[in-house]
Structure 1
Amino acid sequence: MKKLVVVLALLFLQVNLAQHHPKVENHPSQKMEVVLFTFGMMDVITIGTMSASGELTLDFPKDISFISEAAKENSWSDTAFTLFSKCTNSYDILSDEENGKAVSGGYISLATKEQPYSGLLFMVSDENLIPWLEDSYSNNARVGSYFELVYLESDFRYQGDCNSNLSNTEDDTIETLYTYDLDLKAGFNFIEYAIESVREHKVPSMYEEGAFDTIAKPSTILVTSSQTTPQNTKWIGKFFYN
C-alpha cells in the first residue's frame, strides 16, 4: 500500500511539472509566437508560443543547423565577452582553450503573421526592475533578479568573482562585485543575475548642467545558470501591436 501511495505521489508530481507553464502577466488576448533574433533579424529562431490567455509554451531547438553559416560567423563572440563583459578584467578570466564560441540570446520577442516584431518579454523577479533594465543610468536598481539567454557552442563551467569599476566622479567609483556559479550546456541557457545589494551614488544629471542625481546602483550580483525555465520569474510583456 505504501509503495502504491509513493508511486501515485510521484506520478502526480510529474503531471504537475509537465503541466507547468509560465504566464505573461499583462498579456493581450492574442496568440503569438515567441522568437529570438540571436543570429540576426533574417534568421528567426522560434522557441515557443504565447496563447491568447498568456500561457507560454517554450521549446528551444536542440539543433540550429537551419541558421546560415554566414549569420553564425557574423554573430559569434567568445565566451569571455558574452559572459564577463561587465568585468573590468574580462579578457584575463579565461585561457584561450577555455574561451569558446558564444552569443547573447538577445531579447525574447513576440511575433504574429501580420507583425513579425509585436513585442518583447522581460524576465524578472520584480517588475519594478524593468525601468532600470531599460535605462540603468537614470533609474534606480533594486534587490531582485533579472534573466537573460545565452547560446554556447560547447559546455562550460565556471566559479569565481570579478569586479566592475566605473569612474563616476573624481570622488566616487561605481563598483560592482559579480560572483559567478555557472554550469552551462551546449545550446541555450538561462542566466540569472540576482542583485543582492545596492548602493547610492551621485551621478551627473542628464537634464541639468552641473547638477547631480542620487541613483542606486548594484553593488553585489550573484550570477547562476539553468537550462530550464526559472520558476521564480515574472514574465512581463511590452507590446508594440495588439
Structure 2
Amino acid sequence: MFGLDNPVKVGTVDEKGNISIDFPEVLPDTIAPEPKEIFATQLPYALFFSCPDITSVAEGTVVYKGGYFSLSHQNRPWAATLFPVSDIGIIPWLEDRYYQSPIMASFYEVIYCEQNIDLTTLCKESISYTENTIDMEYQYTLRLKKGFNLIEYKIEAIQETGIPDTSPIPSVVTITNADDMDATLWHAKYYYSQFN
C-alpha cells in the first residue's frame, strides 16, 4: 500500500495455511507523512476498472490503493504474493493483462478511504480498435466506509480486440463491496522454496 518499506499488516496465516483477514481500524502510526502523500489518490484512480463518468466522484477525498497482498516470513518481507480470486484461472491475466486472456471470474482488491464514499452508477464507454469497436459497461455499487474496504471485480463478459497477438478484454464488469468472502480462493505464489 505504501511501498515495500511500509507494509500494513491485515491478517495472519496459521500452520495449516488458513488465512485470517483482520483489517486494522486505522492506518498504522509508523507510516510517515511522505509515503502517505506519495501514494494518496482519489477513488476513480484507485479502482482497477474506471471510466470518465466517475472522475468527479468524491473529489478531494483521499484514497489509498491497496496494491498486492503479500506474505511475510521473519527475514523475508515478501515471501509470496496472495491472489484473492473466485477462480485461479484468472491469475495469469492479473499478472499480464496484455498477453494473457481473462476469464469470467472475480478478483479482489483493497482500498483505504479517509471518508465514507457511495458510488452507484452504470458507466458505458466505447474503445475503438483497428478492426472493431468494443462497448464497455461497468456497473458500480459501492458503499465504502472510512477505513479499509475490500472490493470485488466480477468479469461478466469478454470481447476480442480483433488485433493479432493481443488478449481479449473484459467488456462487462460489476464492481461491488466484497461482503461475502467464504467462496474466495486465496492463492499464494511463493518466491522461496525454503524459509530457514
TM superposition score normalised by structure 1: 0.73
TM-score (norm 2): 0.88
Contact 1:182 1:224 (C-alpha < 8 Å) held by counterparts: yes
Alpha-carbon distance in 2 for matches of 1:122, 1:50: 14
Match of 1:192 in 2: 152
1:176 CA displacement: 2.1
Q: What secondary structure is seen at the aligned counterpart in 2 of 1:39? A: coil
User: What amino acid maps onto 1:39 in structure 2?
Assistant: F
Aligned ranges 1:187-226 → 2 under 5 Å: 187-203=147-163, 212-213=164-165, 215-226=167-178
Distance in 2 between residues matched to 1:229 and 1:59, nearest whole Å: 14
1:1-20 aligned within 5 A? none
Task: Look up the equivalent residue of 2:169 and give its one-letter code.
Answer: K
User: What's the CA shift for 1:59?
Assistant: 1.7
1:232 CA drift (Å): 2.1
| Count, aligned residues | 192
Q: 1:114 aligns with which of 56, 75, 78?
A: 75
Higher helix share: 1
Instruction: Give 5+ residue unaligned stretches, structure 2.
Output: none
Q: How big is the alpha-carbon RMSD for the aligned residues of Structure 1 and Structure 2? A: 2.0
Partner amino acid for 1:162? C
Is the CA contact 1:118–1:239 (under 8 Å) kept in the aligned structure 2? yes
AA of the residue aligned to 2:113: L
State the distance in 1 between where 2:20 and 2:114 align.
24
Q: Deviations over 1:13-35 (max 9, x none)?
A: xxxxxxxxxxxxxxxxxxxxxxx
Matched residue SS, 2:10: strand
Offset at residue 75 of structure 1 (A): 1.0
* Residue 21 of structure 2, aligned match among 42, 58, 66: 58
**AA matched with 1:57:** S
**Matched residues in 1 for 2:58 and 2:20: separation?**
38
Q: How does 1:51-200 map to 2 (within 5 A)?
A: 51-64=14-27, 65-83=29-47, 86-91=50-55, 93-94=56-57, 96=59, 99-169=60-130, 171-200=131-160
Q: Quick one: distance in 2 between partners of 1:100 and 1:84?
A: 18
**Structure having the higher Rg:** 1
- Structure 1 CA distance for aligned equivalents of residues 15 and 172 of structure 2: 38
Contact 2:98 2:166 in 1 (8 A): no
Task: Report the residue type matching 2:25 in the other structure.
Answer: K
Contact 2:97 2:167 (C-alpha < 8 Å) held by counterparts:
no
Query: Aligned-pair distance for 1:70?
Result: 1.6
What percentage of residue pairs aligned between the two structures are identical?
33
